[in-house]
A and B are shown apart, each in its own frame.
Chain A
């Protein structure tokens, strides 16, 4: 099974709301990633988790708060977002954080901030 699942598929939230995105994989991967993709642009790396510990934060604003409660789950908590944060949020996983391993992506959560 090479599947990464993401929920919800779509999310609409107001600027004062708090919501969470969820990502799950059961491939035994110990590296998990969050990416953001604006319309007609390539994905941009946000966070990297290795063995459930945050290893990379690509200068992402604090209104995005990642969490890795166990080796299969990755959450992205959202609070006080701005309309410009509307985008497709992609989760990915790989065996380890090493260049010799490929990443498997989920289908993404399409977020609209109103």
Chain B
């Protein structure tokens, strides 16, 4: 299984941007980069995914390095509701999600 490395935890002030990094140096050419988050006592929630180009949606932006060995999830204005564990996952053709330990984001009011 392709591996990702994320910081265990990060903090952000409310209403400020948050940049969550992910390293995936062993990524293969067909691996998609998926981000999910899990709020306390809830199931995981899809955030965003991409292959090579940067992606934007209503929740976040995904910036993918040119060599694809790292990516950054960008929350443009953190709210208290964004406090969660964020998982960066490399997904192969079979769409099997193998979750790592993720980054626990704390949002400070």
A interface residues (Cβ-Cβ under 8 A, vs B): 4, 31, 33, 35, 42-45, 48, 55-56, 90, 92, 94, 96-108
Contact = CB atoms under 8 A, between A and B. Distances in A.
Contacts of B94: 48, 55-56, 97-99
A105 B45 contact: yes
A99 B43 contact: no
Contact of B98 (A45, A96, A98, A108): A45
| Nearest 8 pairs of A and B residues by beta carbon | A42-B99, A105-B43, A99-B91, A102-B46, A99-B32, A105-B44, A97-B95, A108-B43
A110 to B, nearest CB: 9
Contacts of B34: 99, 102
Interface SS of chain B: loop
A17 to B, nearest CB: 24
Residue of A92, A99, A107 ringed by the most chain B CB atoms within 10 A: A99
A100 B49 CA distance: 8
Interface in B67-101: 85, 87, 91-101
Given A42-B99, A99-B94, A104 B30 contact: no
B95 A99 contact: yes
A33 B97 CA distance: 10
Contacts of B85: 42
B14 interface: no
Nearest to B51: A100
B46 A45 contact: no
A86 to B, nearest CB: 16
Contacts of B95: 31, 48, 94, 96-99, 101, 103
B98 A99 contact: no
Nearest to A91: B43
10 contacts: A42-B85, A42-B87, A44-B99, A56-B96, A97-B95, A99-B91, A99-B92, A103-B97, A105-B45, A107-B43
Contacts of B99: 42-44
Contact of A48 (B42, B46, B96): B96
A42 B102 CA distance: 8
A92 B30 CA distance: 23
